[in-house]
């Protein structure tokens, strides 16, 4: 006999589990299906959380090595226990995914472990270990099956020497020479992790800059900081192949002048983006198909072309970020309950957790110029901030872009200490359609990094920054 649910969610990443909780809160009888034993999807298991755990651990090590002395702290015999670092990361993941188990129970959500596939639009088969199959009936479905690492056609990932971010979070040793293909946020974060603990790191990027989707000034500053810490960055390089011989990895690329260049290392991380995951989902049985890039098409309410089947998160494309997936999870639950939810995709912040941290919301200067908008900008460097000097975090700046006539804030771009948290001041300001002048008029506590936001706003409203 099969169970019958109001809503079944396929995939337990940040999109899926948030959708499940919100559905249960709104009174739907809810089921969630996850093919792995551990809930939480990419984000909690092999993405956001483990990468941040390693970024924090390695940043502590780098500070102890390079900055403590200047603070007057002497450490003798500083050494790295990489296995412990990886073990702690594993514990953080376990605690966090365990938290999701608790939330499922608390909200009385039925959890099925196994691979889900449609039999028809209201019937889902769950293939369990040992190929046993169970079927459930459901009124509505939310597909939240996420994404997997992408590769390039000429690269075969062996998961040993030629690796994805998943393996990079679980290495048994610190690479001597790490080659990173792709200077997006995942490539930059992993480059920072291994550079801090002694790997020689080279980033090979196809575009003319790293973090190419963010404001060019952020890219320039992160490039400067990375080069200062001896990360080699090769932009305008088109990777043509990667091969392995024993422990040696050889990467070939063509540079801007079409000249062949060869790089050698002992590991090569392929970080060229992620692709939607819909393998074996039986979409056709529900009357669905993917678009040419493999994403599931949805309308403005995140409903697919089949009524009652919704899709959210990485599998529908757009910004492939955990908080975007979460927002969409809540959206669909509330929409199904007859509420009127709203997502402003222009106000979804993006963060790169290097040090300095990089964060951005709204439009970049390049985008606004392309759109022909008349704009004004204000920029405040952290080297002029007393708080940043106290903590020895003087790299970076805050840049605010406002409309030249109305003064409305159109984009805020930050690189500096704790910017991943500070970006929320900009998001709140933009959500309420603040002007740069509004930010100037709000009292900012002294001494904090947030004062740089106010100073940048002063720069945008005229030449009136106080501390530069």
Q: Is 146 in the site for ligand FAD (CB under 6 A)?
A: yes
Residue 259 CB, nearest approach to ligand FAD (Å) = 32
Q: Which is nearer to ligand FAD, 155 or 439 (CB)?
A: 155
Residue where the block lists tokens 């990173």 = 180
Q: How far apart are the first and last CA of the chain?
A: 72
Q: Which is nearer to ligand FAD, 82 or 373 (CB)?
A: 82
How far is Cα 150 from Cα 273, in angstroms, rounded to an integer? 5
User: Please, which of residues 52-91 interact with ligand FAD by CB under 6 A?
Assistant: none
Residue 348 CB, nearest approach to ligand FAD (Å) = 9
User: Please, which of residues 258-277 interact with ligand FAD by CB under 6 A?
Assistant: 277
Indicate which single residue of 28, 47, 123, 457 sits in contact with ligand FAD (rule: CB under 6 A).
Answer: 47
How far is Cα 251 from Cα 222, in angstroms, rounded to an integer? 24
Q: Is 446 a known active-site residue? A: yes
Residue 281 CB, nearest approach to ligand FAD (Å) = 5
Q: Is 210 in the site for ligand FAD (CB under 6 A)?
A: no
Residue 12 CB, nearest approach to ligand FAD (Å) = 5
User: Please, which of residues 165-204 interact with ligand FAD by CB under 6 A?
Assistant: 165, 186
Interacting stretch for ligand FAD, rule CB under 6 A, among 256-264, 289-297, 319-327, 381-389? 319-327
Interacting stretch for ligand FAD, rule CB under 6 A, among 14-22, 130-138, 384-392, 399-407? 14-22
Q: 216-238: buried (b, 16+ CB within 10 Å) or exposed (e) per residue?
A: ebbbebbbebbeeeebbbbbebe
Counted residue by residue, the chain has a size of: 468
Q: Which is nearer to ligand FAD, 354 or 377 (CB)?
A: 354
Residue 233 CB, nearest approach to ligand FAD (Å) = 19
* 60, 115, 444, 446: the active-site residue: 446
Q: Which is nearer to ligand FAD, 13 or 416 (CB)?
A: 13
Q: Which residues 6+ apart lie within 8 Å of 332 measured at CB? A: 19, 142, 301, 302, 310, 312
Indicate which single residue of 5, 7, 9, 10 sits in contact with ligand FAD (rule: CB under 6 A).
Answer: 10
Interacting stretch for ligand FAD, rule CB under 6 A, among 63-71, 85-93, 142-150, 206-214? 142-150
Q: Pattern of binders to ligand FAD over 85-124, x per CB under 6 A?
A: ------------------------------xx--------
Q: Is 234 in the site for ligand FAD (CB under 6 A)?
A: no
Residue 32 CB, nearest approach to ligand FAD (Å) = 9
Indicate which single residue of 205, 215, 221, 314 sits in contact with ligand FAD (rule: CB under 6 A).
Answer: 314
Q: Which is nearer to ligand FAD, 33 or 270 (CB)?
A: 33
Indicate which single residue of 5, 8, 9, 11 sits in contact with ligand FAD (rule: CB under 6 A).
Answer: 11
Residue 144 CB, nearest approach to ligand FAD (Å) = 5
- Applying CB under 6 A, which residues contact ligand FAD? 10-16, 33-36, 41-43, 47-48, 51, 115-116, 144-147, 165, 186, 277, 281, 313-315, 320-323, 325, 353
Catalytic residues: 446
């Amino acid at each position: 006999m099969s169970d019958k649910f109001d809503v079944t969610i396929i995939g337990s990443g940040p999109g899926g589990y948030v959708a499940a909780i919100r559905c249960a809160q709104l009174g739907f009888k809810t089921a969630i299906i996850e093919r792995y034993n551990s809930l939480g999807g990419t984000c909690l298991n092999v993405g956001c959380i483990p990468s941040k755990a390693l970024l924090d651990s390695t940043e502590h090590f780098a500070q102890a090595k390079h900055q403590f002395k200047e603070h007057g702290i002497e450490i003798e015999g500083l050494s790295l226990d990489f296995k412990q670092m990886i073990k702690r990361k594993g514990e953080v993941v376990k605690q966090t995914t365990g938290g999701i188990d608790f939330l499922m129970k608390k909200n009385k959500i039925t959890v099925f472990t196994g691979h889900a596939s449609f039999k028809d639009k209201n019937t889902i088969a769950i293939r369990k270990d040992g190929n046993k199959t169970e079927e459930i009936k459901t009124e509505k479905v939310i597909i939240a099956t996420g994404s997997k690492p992408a590769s390039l056609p000429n690269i075969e990932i062996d998961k040993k020497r030629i690796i994805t971010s998943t393996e990079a979070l679980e290495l048994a040793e610190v690479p001597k020479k790490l080659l990173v293909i792709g200077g997006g946020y995942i490539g930059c974060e992993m480059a920072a992790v291994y550079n801090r603990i002694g790997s020689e790191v080279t980033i090979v990027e196809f575009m003319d800059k790293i973090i190419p989707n963010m404001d060019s000034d952020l890219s320039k500053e992160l490039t400067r900081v990375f080069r200062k810490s001896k990360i080699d960055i090769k932009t305008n390089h088109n990777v043509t192949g990667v091969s392995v011989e024993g422990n040696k990895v050889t990467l070939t690329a063509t540079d801007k002048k079409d000249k062949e260049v060869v790089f050698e290392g002992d590991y090569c991380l392929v970080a060229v983006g992620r692709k939607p995951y819909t393998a074996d989902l039986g979409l056709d049985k529900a009357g669905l198909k993917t678009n040419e890039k493999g994403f599931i098409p949805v309308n403005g309410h995140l409903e697919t072309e089949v009524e009652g089947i919704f899709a959210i998160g990485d599998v529908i494309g757009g910004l492939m970020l955990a908080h975007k997936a979460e927002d969409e999870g809540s959206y669909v639950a509330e929409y199904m309950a007859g509420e009127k939810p709203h997502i402003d995709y222009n106000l979804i912040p993006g963060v790169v957790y290097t040090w300095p941290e990089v964060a951005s919301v709204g439009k970049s200067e390049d985008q606004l110029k392309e759109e022909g908008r008349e704009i004004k900008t204000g920029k405040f460097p952290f080297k002029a901030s007393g708080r940043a000097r106290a903590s020895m975090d003087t790299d970076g700046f805050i840049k605010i872009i406002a409309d030249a006539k109305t003064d409305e804030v159109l984009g805020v771009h930050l690189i500096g200490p704790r910017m991943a948290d500070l970006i929320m001041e900009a998001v709140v300001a933009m959500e309420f359609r603040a002007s740069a002048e509004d930010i100037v008029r709000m009292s900012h506590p002294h001494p904090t990094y947030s004062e740089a936001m106010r100073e940048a706003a002063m720069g945008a409203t005229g030449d009136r920054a106080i501390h530069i």
